[in-house]
A = this chain, B = another copy of it.
Amino acid sequence: MARAGRRPGPTETREEILAAARRLFAEQGYDGATIRGIAAEAGVNAALLHHYFGTKQQLFVAAMNLPVNPAEELPRLLATPDEQTGERVVRLFLSVWGDARARAPFLALLRSIADNEQAATMIREFLTSAVLSRIAEDRSVPPLRAAAAAAQLVGLVMLRYVLEIPPLATATDDEIVALVAPAIQYYLSP
């Protein structure tokens, strides 16, 4: 909350909203938390929050410090399905994770998943409601196929960037795309 005797500036307000969002997403999950509730927690009105951050999904991405919004990027990428879809998806993942600075927030998320059930719930709900169900619907594939593609990409990131397993850690993006894109293409084909 703002200190007494002084109106908070826009930066302070943004930070308060983000902190309130992190608290409520953790406590209530992604599905349970609402823009209205987060606004109340931050002591601002919902219209102001919407003005600063847009939708709940966009607020979540900002609160978690994600360098890209998977709920927007992936459906955009999958909008025009063809035989290069697998390749485009793998390239997007590698370009986002290839940047060590951008990687930090994802690693923080990963740690929180392993450490506490609340964080796991929050991320499960975000992935399910905001990402996988949209992909499955847009591509007319069963949700299980979208989830299996996600599993391949999550595992790739774990082994290449977290565990740094050779030769995944030392392979070029092109080598990985050539190898993994066909599997993603297989999962995302109806």
A127-B163 in contact (CB<8A): yes
- Stretch from A30-38, A65-73, A75-83, A150-158 that touches the partner: A150-158
A166-B114 in contact (CB<8A): no
Counting chain A residues whose Cβ lies within 8 A of the other chain, the interface size class is 35 or more
Determine the main DSSP class of A at the interface with B.
Answer: helix
* CB proximity of A1 to chain B, nearest CB, Å: 32
- The 29 sampled A-B contact pairs (Cβ below 8 Å) are A111-B114, A113-B162, A114-B114, A114-B115, A114-B162, A115-B115, A124-B164, A127-B163, A128-B165, A144-B167, A144-B168, A144-B176, A145-B179, A147-B166, A147-B167, A147-B168, A148-B156, A148-B168, A148-B176, A148-B180, A150-B159, A151-B158, A152-B155, A152-B183, A154-B158, A158-B158, A182-B186, A183-B183, A186-B186
